[in-house]
Amino acid sequence: MNKSPKYWVACSGGVDSVVLLHLMHEQKKNVGILHCNFHLREESSNEDEAFVRKLAEELGVPIRVREFNTTQYGIDNRMNTQLAARELRYVWFEEVIQEENGIVLLAHHYDDQLETFFLQLRRGGKVKGLSGMPLFKDGYLRPILNNTKEELVALAKKHNWKWQEDVTNSSNDYTRNWYRNEVLPWLKKTDFPLEEVVPLMHSFQQLLAYLRTLETPSVVRIEDWLAFPIWYKDYILSEQGMGEFAESEINRLAKAEKGKFIGNKVTKVWNEGETFVFVKEDSIGTMSQLEIATHSIGDVHFNSTDLFLDAAKVEGELSTRKWRAGDYFQPLGMIGEKSMGKFLRDRKVPAHQKEKVLVLISAKGFIVGVFGFGVGDRFKVDSNTKEVICARLVEA
């Protein structure tokens, strides 16, 4: 029987997570501690670990500690230290959530929410970014999200709850710290209406919740796209894996010629004349494996998927590849050759599907057939054919 705690507090030893842990313990919740030692602050990191271990012992709650070589991980994955630490801890937390059906409690508070909003605003945040951190989502719970840092410190002092001070919090080397230590205090002094920020974020959360009830389109009429409000365009781009693109870039694509696209390693959006088509790169697929078999004419079962050639007209080994610009092909029933680009265009193959078209190549480099469209006229099966080569694509 699994006796693991239902709730796991991600406790660094700082005042926020210490207060959250004490509050959960006082409510007699089935709680444990998750502590990450990132080894980023020399001996201070080990002191934080020792403090949290002692706290767990005093409260009589289970504790798990995970140590990370954060600096090396950042180097290996080409990311800064903050991102590396974030990724490492959340991978671990996901294990707890997924494998144990646990709930991970994060000690984010009201001030963190304000900082997040301005950070996202600076980065050009869209609806998802400006909605901030939710109270609960996907196994993560933030119980003190509405409490200010000042309230948490006052509560800790009132109950004499000890905590560890992270000296890096006073440094402005990190952008978040700069907002915390400089920008937000300055805004308060200038009577900026900070109290309106979090309600605004809640509005974005409601908008985001509504958008998530809608099916993310993969095909959009260009006329409709241009009429969509900016926040809906941004949401579509985010859901399609193109969140780094501004909606204005897609608007410009609408004015480009048919067949143009914009994209990244995840998704491409194609201008198909009257529509935009979003295509996931993994849907293009990997090169299929070519399977060749030779049959007597009487044993062949013809179909529209495979390519069937007169074996007497084919010399050497056959191979397959994606078609290329500059390729020529003699379609069935045609005297001369036609460029593959024109061949596919005449058959009204959408630009985003042209990437998938594979051709069958002879040993001499001739295109003898196009999968999905048939064989070349020079290699067709006719009344004199005795043996037939069947070329078939199977998943690699």
The residue-averaged pLDDT of 184-205 equals 94
What residue ranges do the domains of the chain occupy?
7-207, 219-284, 289-394
Gap between the Cα atoms of 102 and 125, Å rounded: 30
Contact 228, 319 (CB under 8 A): no
Q: Judge whether 20 and 144 are in contact, CB under 8 Å.
A: yes
Q: Which helix (H) or strand (E) holds 358?
A: strand 358-361
The pLDDT assigned to 57 comes to: 97
Region of residue 338 (phi > 0: left; psi between -120 and 50: alpha; otherwise: beta): beta
Total number of residues shown for the chain: 396
Q: Is the pLDDT of residue 250 over 50?
A: yes
Q: Which tens digits make up the pLDDT trace of 343-353?
A: 998 888 888 88
Neighbours of 60 (CB within 10 A): 7
Buried b / exposed e over 8-44, threshold 16 CB at 10 Å, is: bbbbbbbbbbbbbbbbbbeeebebbbbbbbbbbeeeb
- Nearest-angstrom CA–CA distance, 299 and 297: 6
User: How far apart, in Å, are the Cα atoms of 388 and each of 299, 312, 379?
Assistant: 9, 8, 10
Residue 364 has pLDDT above 60, yes or no: yes
A 10 A CB-CB count for 356 gives 16
Residue 288: the pLDDT is 74
What fold characterizes domain 289-394? Phenylalanyl-tRNA Synthetase; Chain B, domain 3 (3.50.40)
Q: What share of the chain is helix, strand, coil (3-state, %, to 5)?
A: 40, 20, 40
Same fold: 7-207 with 289-394: no
Instruction: Indicate whether 281 pLDDT > 90.
Output: no
Is the pLDDT confidence value at 285 over 80? no
**Does the domain made of 7-207 have the CATH classification 2.60.110.10?**
no
